[in-house]
Amino acid sequence: MAYNKAKEEKKWRLWKEAEEKKLRELGVSEDTIERLRIHDWAIFNSDRRYYEKLQEAGTYLEEVAESDPPSEVKTVDDFLDSIENERLYQILIEVDSLTLQAVLLKIQGFSYREIALRLGVTVKSVYRRMDRLKEKIKKFLS
């Protein structure tokens, strides 16, 4: 699911208003409440930037998957040969073979559950491998 800044900001504001109301009831000074608001807002923005970058990396992987016709990419070697961006290629050849197999299966349209069954690992393991790869690609995009 895509990161929705407006929705997350609305949730944050509702949470913050409820928290500030409780702090006022407890007699906390307005100065302290304002400093907490500034601190929490900085954390919110930091998290927002992280999730937006993570989304960009995921979107980039999906674009790569969509740009390659599934019928032509049948092996990991075919997949690597189809990568035109040299830096991305360098990132992918450093990734372990199980992760590359998972990426190939995802490109071919398999679900995470189906990938896990085919590779003999847990679904959580597939998600973890894909998330790590997304993080590496996110660093590449930065």
Whole-model pTM: value is 0.48
So what's the pLDDT on residue 3?
64
Give percent of the chain above pLDDT 90.
Answer: 32
Cα three-residue angle 12-139-111, rounded to 5 degrees: 75
Residue-wise pLDDT tens digits, 21-52: 999 999 999 999 999 999 988 888 888 777 77
91: which DSSP letter? Answer: H
CA 62 – CA 68 distance, rounded (Å):
10
CA 15 – CA 4 distance, rounded (Å):
17
Q: How far is CA 76 from the centre of its chain?
A: 23
Residue-wise pLDDT tens digits, 44-69: 888 877 777 776 666 566 666 665 55
CATH of domain 69-142: 1.10.10
Per-domain residue ranges of the chain: 1-67, 69-142
Element (H, E) at 131: helix 123-141
Element (H, E) at 12: helix 5-25
Q: How many helices (H) and strands (E) would you count in the chain? A: 7, 0
